[in-house]
Chain A
Amino acid sequence: MPNTLYDKIWNDHLVDLQDDGTALLFVDRHLVHEVTSPQAFEGLRNSNRKVRHPNLTLAVADHNVPTTDRSKGISDKESKIQVETLEANCKEFGIKLFGMNDKRQGIVHVTGPEQGFTQPGTVIVCGDSHTATHGAFGSLAFGIGTSEVEHVLATQTLVQKKAKNFRVNVNGKLPLGVTSKDVILQIIGKIGTAGGTGCVIEYAGDLIRSLSVEQRMTICNMTIEGGARAGLIAPDEKIFKYLKDRPMSPKDKDWDKAMEYWKNLKTDEGAKFDKEIDLQAEEILPMITWGTSPQDVITIDEKVPNPQNEKDEDRKNSLERSLNYMGLKPNMAAKDIKIDKVFIGSCTNGRIEDLREAAKILKDKKIAAHVHAMVVPGSGLVKEQAEQEGLDKIFVNSGFEWREPGCSMCLAMNADKLKPQERCASTSNRNFEGRQGRGGRTHLVSPGMAAAAAISGNLDDVRKYQN
């Protein structure tokens, strides 16, 4: 019987399958960060259990770390305790950790691929919903809760039920100025935030194949915003080339053996999908979110919706609530939305290509006087690379702040946050109420669109600044 890529990875990791379909799945790679792990380690200690495979586990502090000068440590007491707890736990249980002052430190979903820890055909988990990012390498990668983190630490397995197969095909070529961020926002707008619930999405089509590894990560990253547990893309030469000679990639004979296996990781002809949708790349335009859910998308040429046009009562109430929170009026043009802040970074768009894309727009330009803008590279290595290319100077000369790596204002657990009613064009992944700070208003955009907004002082069309 022809199988999907998801079916194949699933079958390859079955340790046990009960009659009721409950499976025990082997986990090849476990990423750990400071926020969702302390209670898991505490659980291990309380039950006198060990970490089964410390060398399949990699830890990094990212959510709580300051993005300003780190020489004095973390000033917030609770954040400091959480990061120190991770350090102590990693030491006690023998887990490799990239500390706050290690240049390999960064957002867990940037660090994993960068180190070659992320590999095709593996099952990868992390106590973080954006683990879906790693699916760009053709792995089954998904977020888990803390109890499950403890379960994986203790057993290197996870109790799971099989999800449905959902394929999203994107064919054609993207218009100038349109990026993979716009593609995924468009997909979420189309399927809704619960559209992928109970499914694993495979992204396919010639547009997807034409994307770089980092662009694929942006798409897989936001799969969770469409409700799906995981998103994946069949690995190809671009992936293999990316992984070759990374510190934790297979070496020598192991590499050859891995390649043999990786090359066959694709969906069989005629495999059955429970759901399937098609998008044409030419029809995708630069997108923004106007509301408080990632499905609230419009193109930069459109207007904010009017709740009065909604027949469904729940939907109408939801629109009204969002507009009210966002401080927007019905039918307002996207380009009339004035912004206060710009955030470029996060596990969605904090990689080198994202920074290059924004820098290209900002070169020899100044940001609007009333805008406060910051770039937070996804890792120390991204930061270093950007500095070698002189991107930091372009950002600083245009008026951006150049920061240290971490999750930062994507979720505002550290000191970087919006004040009430402040409005931000952000390259992150969630525009939920309060996500970037209590009362803060988030518009999700691509890095190029964030740069354009910074220059114009309002949401604007990146194509205007394209050479």
Chain B
Amino acid sequence: MQKFNTLKSIPVYLPIVNIDTDMIIPKQFLKTIKRTGLGKNLFFEMRYDDQGKEIGDFILNQNPFNNSKILIAGKNFGCGSSREHAPWALLDFGITCVISSSFADIFYSNCFKNGILPIVLEEEKIKELSEYANRKEEISVDLNENKIVYGNNEIKFDVDKFKKKCLLEGLDDIALSLKKSEKIENFEKDLKNQKPWIFND
């Protein structure tokens, strides 16, 4: 997994609440058997017209926002389906940090598996940061210090310590869990005794 440390970018602001994963990446693109190449289809229905032409009014089609690495959005971002294609599409587009006042649980967890940092801030702070998007000014995110720096201000944000470590070091979850193989084996042994029906054999 790609590491996340610090990031500087002009943010793009989507002032829509309840952006669901169908909006982020519609189902016709879930037929892929790869993780890559989904960036061009990010927010497909808002980004392209019926003929497949870019819709100029949509913010991600505009310079400099087509190069934004930070997305600021309305509350309950990523609700709906568990499709990891949503963070894959964001990542492939170049977005590695999403800021909102709340996230849906599965999307939130999927971000961390893909080197994307989701940040939860109060609505008020979201409005403040969105001004930087409107003015096309850069903000920077520092995961080491748990802070966002904008102009002469900074905001601290919370992130789970373990998730932070994994993101900073780009750790492979599975390898970490496999280090606990002995514990898993012991658990399975007990399980076979206590709930023999679980194993189907």
Binding site for B on A (CB under 8 A): 15-16, 18, 20, 22, 24, 26, 28, 35-36, 38-39, 42, 47, 49, 53, 55-56, 63-64, 76, 78-79, 81-82, 85, 119, 122, 127-129, 142-148, 150-151, 154-157, 159, 161, 163, 193-194, 197-198, 224, 227, 229, 248, 250, 254-255, 257-258, 261, 293, 314, 317-318, 321, 411-413, 420, 430, 432-435, 438
Contact in complex: B83, A148 (CB < 8 Å): no
The stretch that binds A, out of B98-106, B132-140, B150-158, is: B98-106
Contact in complex: B113, A147 (CB < 8 Å): yes
Contact in complex: B26, A434 (CB < 8 Å): yes
B18 on interface, CB distance cutoff 8 Å = yes
Tally of B interface residues using CB under 8 Å: 58
Those of B139-176 within 8 Å (CB) of chain A: 160-162, 173-174, 176
Contact in complex: B198, A229 (CB < 8 Å): no
B69 on interface, CB distance cutoff 8 Å = no
Residues in B with CB closer than 8 Å to A64 are: 31
The stretch that binds A, out of B5-13, B57-65, B180-188, is: B180-188
B94 on interface, CB distance cutoff 8 Å = no
Residue of chain B at shortest CB distance from A127: B82
Residues in B with CB closer than 8 Å to A143 are: 81-82, 106
**Given the interface contacts A28-B198, A227-B79, does A151 sit within 8 Å of B34 by beta carbon?**
no
**Given the interface contacts A145-B82, A438-B45, does A155 sit within 8 Å of B75 by beta carbon?**
no
- Docked complex Cα distance between A324 and B197 (Å): 53
Contact in complex: A159, B197 (CB < 8 Å): no
Contact in complex: B80, A430 (CB < 8 Å): yes
Of the residues B35, B82, B178, contact of A155 by C-beta under 8 Å: B178
Residues in A with CB closer than 8 Å to B102 are: 194, 197
Contact in complex: B180, A15 (CB < 8 Å): yes
Residues in A with CB closer than 8 Å to B176 are: 159
- Docked complex Cα distance between A36 and B35 (Å): 10
Of the residues B26, B74, B184, contact of A438 by C-beta under 8 Å: B26
Residues in A with CB closer than 8 Å to B30 are: 35, 63, 413
- Can you list, as one digit per residue, whether each of B19-48 has a CB less than 8 Å from chain A (1) or not (0)? 010110011101111110000000001000
Q: Give the top 3 A-B pairs by smallest Cβ distance, nearest first.
A: A250-B197, A147-B113, A38-B33
Contact in complex: B82, A15 (CB < 8 Å): no
Residues in A with CB closer than 8 Å to B191 are: 26
Residues in B with CB closer than 8 Å to A161 are: 160
Kindly provide the distance from the CB of A272 to the nearest chain B CB, expressed in whole angstroms: 21
Contact in complex: B114, A147 (CB < 8 Å): yes
Residues in A with CB closer than 8 Å to B188 are: 26, 156
What are 26 A-B contacts with C-beta separation under 8 Å?
A: A15-B180, A20-B162, A22-B160, A35-B31, A55-B200, A63-B30, A78-B32, A122-B198, A129-B80, A145-B82, A145-B84, A147-B173, A151-B177, A155-B184, A157-B177, A193-B76, A194-B104, A197-B103, A248-B200, A250-B197, A257-B197, A293-B20, A318-B17, A411-B81, A413-B31, A430-B81
Residues in B with CB closer than 8 Å to A248 are: 200
Kindly provide the distance from the CB of A201 to the nearest chain B CB, expressed in whole angstroms: 12
Contact in complex: A39, B35 (CB < 8 Å): yes
Residue of chain A at shortest CB distance from B20: A432
- Docked complex Cα distance between A430 and B82 (Å): 13
**Given the interface contacts A18-B162, A36-B82, A420-B50, does A24 sit within 8 Å of B199 by beta carbon?**
no
Residues in B with CB closer than 8 Å to A146 are: 35, 84
Residue of chain B at shortest CB distance from A407: B27
Contact in complex: A15, B20 (CB < 8 Å): no
Residues in A with CB closer than 8 Å to B87 are: 145
**Given the interface contacts A15-B184, A197-B76, A438-B45, does A144 sit within 8 Å of B198 by beta carbon?**
no
Beyond A24-B183, A78-B31, 19 additional pairs, beta carbon < 8 A: A20-B160, A36-B84, A38-B33, A39-B84, A56-B199, A81-B33, A82-B33, A122-B198, A129-B81, A148-B109, A159-B173, A193-B76, A227-B105, A258-B197, A317-B15, A318-B17, A432-B80, A433-B23, A438-B50
- Docked complex Cα distance between A420 and B49 (Å): 12
Of the residues A20, A56, A420, A430, contact of B22 by C-beta under 8 Å: A430
Residues in B with CB closer than 8 Å to A257 are: 195-197
- Docked complex Cα distance between A293 and B75 (Å): 13
Kindly provide the distance from the CB of A108 to the nearest chain B CB, expressed in whole angstroms: 12
Residues in A with CB closer than 8 Å to B26 are: 434, 438
Contact in complex: B162, A434 (CB < 8 Å): no
- Docked complex Cα distance between A143 and B87 (Å): 16
Contact in complex: B31, A157 (CB < 8 Å): no
B110 on interface, CB distance cutoff 8 Å = yes
Kindly provide the distance from the CB of B137 to the nearest chain A CB, expressed in whole angstroms: 23
Residues in A with CB closer than 8 Å to B35 are: 39, 146
Residues in A with CB closer than 8 Å to B173 are: 147, 151, 159
- Docked complex Cα distance between A81 and B34 (Å): 12
Residue of chain A at shortest CB distance from B79: A193
Kindly provide the distance from the CB of A244 to the nearest chain B CB, expressed in whole angstroms: 13
Residues in A with CB closer than 8 Å to B124 are: none
Contact in complex: A55, B104 (CB < 8 Å): no
- Docked complex Cα distance between A22 and B50 (Å): 46
B128 on interface, CB distance cutoff 8 Å = no
